[in-house]
């Protein structure tokens, strides 16, 4: 059985720095960073979600979700992939978008291991500080994976909050991302699963509306995911979501394909789309 990587030295053994940024090699996988933009309802660029791109040794892109599921129940290898992804995401983000906001995914099992082993305080938080990223600019997204106790997760996320980091619930409305988890963790942002916007569009409006009511009642900001076209865009704006994310806003860009002027081009594209929506 693989050993869980907990120290900076152990993680460093799997990291690779190339002309295209920071990557990691673990087992049969190459781990790369991709960043997808997040905007405010008014069209202002707010931040980026760091997404993991997994490739096999032939360069074939894999379904990250399916890979993670193949390691359930939580295994050391899944936790290690999760942890290595955060390491490369933080380093690449610090180079590409140092003044923006970063959304980092974290599985509940990796969070609990970090808490139990105290690696959040000993490895993660110091590294964020060393990279010059303000703690308040980092949102940890707790993934929708089920966990035995949301109360235990709440205790663990207290360490992140105490260090000034922010918290988001990912994919609200599916699997373990439930009202119970939201009430237990009290995140700064609730990200609704893309399926809720799809249902809303088809006339089943209650799931998304109920999610927004829950968030607003707790003072939590709402990010609507899955904004794929102009109709989704108009619906998300009409619902007065605080933030929007999806292919219509911008697709994830892998670090080795990010051009130097990509952020400026994003501003241009967003300006055009928001101008058209106002017509």
* Higher-confidence position of 48 and 278: 48
In the prediction, which pLDDT does 258 show? 66
Query: Which DSSP state fits 170?
Result: E
In the prediction, which pLDDT does 84 show? 95
* Mean pLDDT across 181-187: 97
What confidence tier does 268 reach under pLDDT thresholds 50, 70, 90?
low
What confidence tier does 194 reach under pLDDT thresholds 50, 70, 90?
very high
Residue 48 included in any domain: yes
- 36-75 pLDDT, tens digit each: 999 999 888 999 999 999 999 899 999 988 887 787 666 8
In the prediction, which pLDDT does 148 show? 86
Query: Are β-strands 138-142 and 29-40 bridged in parallel, bridged antiparallel, or unpaired?
Result: unpaired
What is the pLDDT of the chain when averaged over all its residues? 89
Here the CATH number for the domain that contains residue 125 is 3.20.20.450
* Mean pLDDT across 157-164: 90
- 77-108 pLDDT, tens digit each: 988 998 999 999 999 999 999 999 999 999 88
Residue 2 included in any domain: no
Domain that residue 91 falls in: 8-277
Residue 79 included in any domain: yes
How many domains would you assign to the chain?
A: 1
Query: Tokens 């300006």 label which residue?
Result: 271
Q: In 3D, which of 26, 103, 118, 116 has the Cα closest to residue 71?
A: 26
In the prediction, which pLDDT does 274 show? 64
pTM, to two decimals: 0.90
What confidence tier does 179 reach under pLDDT thresholds 50, 70, 90?
very high
Q: In 3D, which of 200, 182, 181, 184 has the Cα closest to residue 241?
A: 200
Residue 3 included in any domain: no
Residue 157 included in any domain: yes
* Token code pair at residue 224: 């609507």
């Amino acid at each position: 059985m693989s050993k869980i990587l907990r120290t900076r030295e152990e993680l460093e053994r799997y990291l690779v720095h190339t002309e295209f940024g920071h990557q990691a090699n673990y087992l049969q996988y190459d781990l790369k960073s991709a960043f997808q933009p997040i905007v405010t309802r008014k069209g202002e660029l707010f931040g980026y979600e760091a997404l993991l791109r997994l490739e096999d040794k032939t360069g074939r892109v894999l379904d990250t979700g399916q890979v993670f599921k193949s390691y359930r129940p939580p295994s050391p290898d899944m936790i290690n992939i999760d942890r290595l992804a955060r390491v490369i995401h933080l380093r690449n983000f610090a180079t590409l978008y140092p003044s923006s906001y970063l959304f980092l995914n974290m599985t509940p099992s990796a969070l609990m291991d970090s808490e139990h082993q105290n690696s959040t305080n000993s490895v993660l938080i110091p590294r964020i500080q060393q990279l010059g990223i303000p703690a308040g600019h980092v949102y940890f997204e707790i993934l929708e994976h089920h966990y035995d106790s949301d109360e235990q997760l709440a205790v663990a996320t207290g360490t992140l909050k105490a260090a000034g980091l922010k918290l988001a619930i990912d994919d609200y409305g599916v699997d373990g991302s439930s009202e119970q988890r939201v009430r237990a963790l009290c995140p700064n942002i609730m990200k609704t699963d893309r399926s809720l916007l799809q249902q809303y569009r088809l006339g089943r409006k209650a799931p998304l509306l109920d999610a927004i009511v829950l968030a607003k009642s707790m003072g939590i900001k709402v990010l609507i995911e899955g904004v794929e076209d102009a109709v989704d865009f108009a619906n998300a704006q009409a619902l007065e979501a605080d933030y929007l994310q999806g292919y219509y806003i911008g697709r994830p860009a892998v670090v080795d394909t990010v051009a130097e002027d990509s952020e400026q081009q994003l501003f241009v594209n967003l300006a055009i789309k928001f101008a058209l929506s106002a017509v």
